[in-house]
Amino acid sequence: MTNEALQNLISSWIPDLEFSEEESQFLNISVQPEHLHKLMSQLKSNSDTSFDYLYCLSGVDWQPELGVVYHLESTTHRHRIVVKVKTADRENPTFDSVCDIWRTAEFHEREVFDFFGIQFNNHPNLKRLFLTDEWEGFPLRKDYEDEINMVIK
């Protein structure tokens, strides 16, 4: 399925999606947080898309927004897309978890929580993965200040 055909199909499911191909070969979809879980569920379960493989889930600080970028592939149809979701709420960034759709998302979401502070609704075990429980702040945010580097300056 071409990117144009994918866009036509997916845009019929949920209003207010934004599409672009940017400088990549993949169709990029931006979705509002309240539609994220529905979109992702349909991307996997629809027989015309069958995005059965979540191969990358990354947190991003676009400053001022925080967000998550999902890379999906259909191993059946051999097409790929990128889904992006953002929030301007840096104090309580929250999105729905997709680990009920793709099990591999469970650890990816924990990593994003650990380094960016993004919460995932309905995650079965959202806790730090790499950093200690005592760690303060989120080191991959652009506004993070490292106390050690501040002392050296």
Model pLDDT for residues 73-98, shown as the tens digit of each residue: 999 999 999 999 999 999 999 999 99
Q: What is the DSSP letter of 117?
A: -
Confidence bin at 151 (pLDDT 50/70/90): very low
Distance CA(109)–CA(97), nearest Å, equals 8
Tokens describing residue 68 = 């998550």
Contacts of 100 (CB under 8 A, 6+ apart): 122
Confidence check: pLDDT of 48 > 50 = yes
Q: Where are the domains of the chain?
A: 3-152
pLDDT over 90, % of the chain? 88
Distance CA(105)–CA(55), nearest Å, equals 9
The bridge status of strand 80-87 relative to strand 94-96 is: unpaired
Q: Is 140 helix (H, G, I), strand (E, B) or coil?
A: coil
Handedness of CA 18, 94, 116, 106 (dihedral sign): negative
DSSP string, 33-83: GGGHHHHHHHHHH-TTT---EEEEEEEEE-SS-EEEEEEEE-TTT--EEEE
Quickly name the fold that domain 3-152 has.
Beta Polymerase; domain 2 (3.30.460)
